[in-house]
A and B are shown apart, each in its own frame.
Chain A
Amino acid sequence: MSLNPEYLKEERNQAWRAELRSKTKNKERTLIERVKMPELAPAIRVKHQDREVNMGLELEQALKEATRCMDCVNPTCIEGCPVSINIPKFIKYIEKGDILQAAATLKETNALPAVCGRVCPQEKQCESKCFYVDKLDKPSVAIGHLERFAADYERNSGAANIPEIAKPNGIKVAAVGSGPASLAFAGDMVKYGYDVTVFEALHEIGGVLKYGIPEFRLPNSVVDFELENLRKMGVKFETNYIVGRTSSFDDLREEGYQGFFIASGAGLPRFMDIPGENSNGILSSNEYLTRVNLMGAAMDNKDTPVLKGKYVAVIGGGNTAMDSVRTALRLGAQRAMIIYRRSEAEMPARIEEVKHAKEEGVEFMTLCNPLEYFADAKGRVTGMKLNRMGLGEPDASGRRRPMPIEGSEFELDVDLVVVAVGVSPNPLVPSCLPDLKVTKWGTIVVDEDKMQSSISEMFAGGDIVRGGATVILAMGDGRRAAENMHHYLQSKLNN
Chain B
Amino acid sequence: MNKIIEKTYFSDKVVQLVVENPLIAKSRKPGNFVILRVGEDGERFPLTIAGADPVRGTITLVVQIMGVSSSKLVALEPGDCITDLVGPLGKPTHIEKIGTVLAAGGGVGVAPLLPIVEAFKKAGNRVITVIAARNKDLIILENEIIKWSDEVIVMTDDGSYGRQGLVTAGMEEIIQREKIDECIVIGPAIMMKFASMLTKKYNIPTQASLNSIMVDGTGMCGACRVTVGGKTKFTCVDGPEFDAHQVDFDEMLMRLGGYIQEEKRATEIYSQKL
Contact = CB atoms under 8 A, between A and B. Distances in A.
Interface of A: 201-203, 211, 239-242, 245-248, 265, 267-269, 271, 273, 277-281, 283-284, 286-287, 290-291, 295-296, 301-305, 307, 378-380, 426-428
Given A248-B27, A280-B255, A301-B41, A428 B87 contact: no
A427 B219 contact: yes
Interface stretch (B12-20, B141-149, B192-200, B222-230): B222-230
Contacts of A273: 232
B182 to A, nearest CB: 24
13 contacts: A203-B37, A211-B216, A239-B84, A241-B86, A242-B89, A247-B23, A278-B225, A280-B258, A283-B221, A284-B222, A290-B221, A296-B41, A303-B72
B258 to A, nearest CB: 4
B218 A280 contact: no
Contacts of A241: 23, 86
Nearest to B86: A240
Nearest to B217: A201
A290 B87 contact: no
Nearest to B85: A240
B178 interface: no
A426 B68 CA distance: 30
B257 A379 contact: yes
Given A304-B43, A379-B258, A428-B237, A242 B251 contact: no
Given A203-B83, A211-B216, A245-B87, 10 more contacts: A211-B220, A240-B84, A245-B27, A246-B23, A278-B232, A279-B254, A286-B220, A295-B44, A378-B257, A427-B219
A281 B27 CA distance: 36
B236 to A, nearest CB: 9
Given A287-B223, A378-B254, A305 B262 contact: yes
Most buried by A among B37, B86, B87, B255: B86
A296 B42 CA distance: 10
Contacts of A302: 41, 43
B221 to A, nearest CB: 4
Contacts of B87: 242, 245-246
Q: How large is the interface on B (under 10, 10 to 19, 20 to 34, 35 or more residues)?
A: 35 or more
Most buried by A among B37, B215, B225: B215
Nearest to A268: B219
A182 to B, nearest CB: 15
Interface of B: 23-24, 27, 37, 41-44, 68-69, 72, 83-89, 215-216, 218-223, 225-227, 232, 234, 237, 251, 254-255, 257-259, 262-263, 266
Given A307-B259, A379-B257, A278 B251 contact: yes
B188 to A, nearest CB: 18
Nearest to A204: B84
A211 B218 CA distance: 13
A426 B220 contact: yes
Contacts of A427: 219, 237
By secondary structure, the B interface counts as mixed
Contacts of A239: 84
B232 A246 contact: no
A278 B227 contact: yes
Contacts of B88: 245-246
A268 B225 CA distance: 11
B205 to A, nearest CB: 24
B219 A267 contact: yes
A241 B84 CA distance: 10
A202 B214 CA distance: 13
A301 B42 CA distance: 9
Most buried by A among B221, B232, B257: B221
Contact of A202 (B27, B69, B216): B216
A426 B238 CA distance: 12
A290 B84 contact: no
A268 B234 contact: yes
Given A240-B86, A295-B43, A305-B266, A278 B220 contact: no
B194 to A, nearest CB: 20
Contact of A268 (B220, B254, B259, B263): B220
A302 B72 CA distance: 13
A283 B223 contact: yes
Contact of A305 (B86, B226, B254, B259): B259
B215 A290 contact: yes
A4 B85 CA distance: 46
Contacts of B223: 283, 287
B227 A201 contact: no
B64 to A, nearest CB: 17
A424 B69 CA distance: 30
B42 A303 contact: yes
Contact of B41 (A271, A303, A426): A303
Nearest to B220: A267
A241 B87 CA distance: 7
Contacts of B41: 296, 301-303
Given A271-B232, A303-B68, A242 B221 contact: no
B203 to A, nearest CB: 28
Contact of A304 (B27, B44, B258): B44
Contacts of B255: 278, 280, 379
B82 to A, nearest CB: 10
Nearest to A306: B262
A207 B218 CA distance: 13
A248 B26 CA distance: 10
A241 B35 CA distance: 11
B254 A290 contact: no
A428 B222 contact: no
Contacts of B227: 278
A287 B219 CA distance: 10
Contacts of A277: 232
A104 to B, nearest CB: 34
10 closest Cβ pairs, A-B complex: A305-B262, A379-B254, A287-B221, A280-B258, A240-B86, A304-B43, A203-B84, A303-B43, A284-B222, A267-B220
A265 B219 CA distance: 11
Contacts of A271: 222, 225, 232
Most buried by B among A271, A277, A281, A302: A302
A283 B222 contact: yes
A247 B22 CA distance: 10
Contacts of B23: 241, 246-247
A203 B43 CA distance: 11
Given A247-B23, A280-B257, A379-B255, A286 B86 contact: no
